[in-house]
């Protein structure tokens, strides 16, 4: 069965070339092409396409907002963003809003068709440049080396329970050790983390990902 596609792009030339491209390939069924995204969510509801090609930059309601609305109301519809820019903020914003793929307009026609097929079968086509941006972001987010405070295993256990909101008494019975032992551990933890209170310890632990 053909994959049903609709297009949102303000430039007639782009719409026409995409239309032509899709009409010449019988794997796809072009259900409509629109010059603005004002009623995109409603249109998506009526036409119920498999995939939407959405220009990121349009006068009036831009593609990023449109994605958010469509995705919210029709989460099963796959959305591929099209852009001429490699502006990372907008890429991330779109992806966060629920876009499934991201292609540069310079993408060759053949690859674009491939992307449409990919997305329909559960993939997430991205131009390699875009993928690099996403991944780079991903690496930054996860790879902070985390200063080592030399906590012992037991101290880490105690700290974990503390972060989980337990009192000394609860920690003691949870670890099946005495109340005073918990106190000792926590004193050492505070010492090593250079803090004086529970909340400081908790904040430091969570912010620096110590556990």
Partner DNA sequence: GCGCAAATCCCCATAATAGGGGATACAAAT
Partner DNA sequence: ATTTGTATCCCCTATTATGGGGATTTGCGC
Q: Which of 42, 138, 179, 194 binds DNA (CB under 7 A)?
A: 179
Task: Give the DSSP per-residue string, 122-172.
Answer: T---B-HHHHHHHHHHHHHHH----------HHHHHHHHHHHTT--HHHHH
Helix, strand, coil percentages in the chain from 3-state DSSP, rounded to 5: 55, 15, 35
Residue in the structure block whose two tokens are 């972001």: 137
194 interacts with, out of DNA, a copy of itself, none, CB within 5 to 8 A per kind? none
7 beta partners: 33, 53
Q: Which positions ≥6 away from 182 have C-beta within 8 Å?
A: 158, 168, 171, 172, 175
185 binds DNA per the rule CB under 7 A? yes
What per-residue string of b and e applies to 150-172 under the rule 16 or more CB within 10 Å gives b? Answer: ebeeebbbbbebbbeebebeebb
The nearest distance, CB 158 to DNA, in angstroms, is 8
* 184 near DNA (CB under 7 A): yes
Q: Which of residues 121-150 bind DNA (CB under 7 A)?
A: 150
When CB distances are held under 5 to 8 angstroms depending on the partner's kind, the choice from DNA, a copy of itself, none that residue 165 binds is a copy of itself
Minimum Å gap between C-beta 145 and DNA is 20
Minimum Å distance from CB 208 to DNA?
18
Q: Which is nearer to DNA, 68 or 177 (CB)?
A: 177
Q: Which of 27, 73, 169, 194 binds DNA (CB under 7 A)?
A: 169
Q: Which is nearer to a copy of itself, 59 or 75 (CB)?
A: 75
Q: Least distance (Å) from a copy of itself to the CB of residue 26?
A: 22
Sorted by sequence, the CB contacts under 8 Å of residue 108 that are 6+ apart come out as none
Q: Which does 203 bind (CB under 5 to 8 A by kind): DNA, a copy of itself, none?
A: a copy of itself
Binding partner of residue 186 among DNA, a copy of itself, none, CB under 5 to 8 Å per kind? DNA
User: Which residue in the set 86, 87, 164, 180 belongs to the binding site for DNA (CB under 7 A)?
Assistant: 180
Count Cβ neighbours within 10 Å for each residue of 44-69 and write b for 16 or more, e otherwise: beeeebbbbbbbbbbeebbbbbbbbb
- Residues across the chain: 211
> Residues interacting with DNA, by CB under 7 A?
150, 152-155, 167-169, 172, 175, 177-181, 183-187, 190, 196-198
């Amino acid at each position: 069965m053909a994959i049903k596609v609709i297009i949102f792009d303000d430039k007639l030339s782009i719409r026409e070339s995409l239309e032509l491209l899709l009409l010449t390939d019988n794997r796809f069924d072009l259900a409509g092409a629109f010059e603005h995204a004002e009623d995109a969510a409603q249109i998506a509801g009526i036409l119920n396409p498999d995939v939407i090609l959405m220009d990121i930059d349009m006068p009036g309601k831009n593609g990023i907002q449109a994605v958010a609305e469509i995705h919210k109301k029709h989460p099963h519809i796959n959305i591929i963003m099209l852009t001429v820019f490699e502006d990372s903020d907008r890429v991330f914003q779109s992806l966060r809003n629920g876009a499934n793929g991201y292609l540069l307009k310079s993408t060759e026609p053949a690859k674009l068709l491939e992307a449409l097929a990919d997305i329909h079968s559960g993939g997430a086509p991205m131009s390699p440049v875009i993928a690099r941006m996403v991944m780079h972001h991903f690496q930054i987010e996860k790879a902070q080396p985390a200063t080592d405070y030399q906590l012992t295993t037991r101290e880490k256990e105690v700290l974990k329970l503390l972060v989980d909101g337990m009192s000394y008494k609860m920690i003691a019975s949870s670890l099946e050790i005495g109340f005073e032992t918990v106190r000792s551990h926590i004193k050492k933890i505070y010492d090593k983390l250079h803090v004086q209170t529970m909340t400081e310890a908790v904040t430091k632990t969570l912010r620096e990902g110590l556990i």
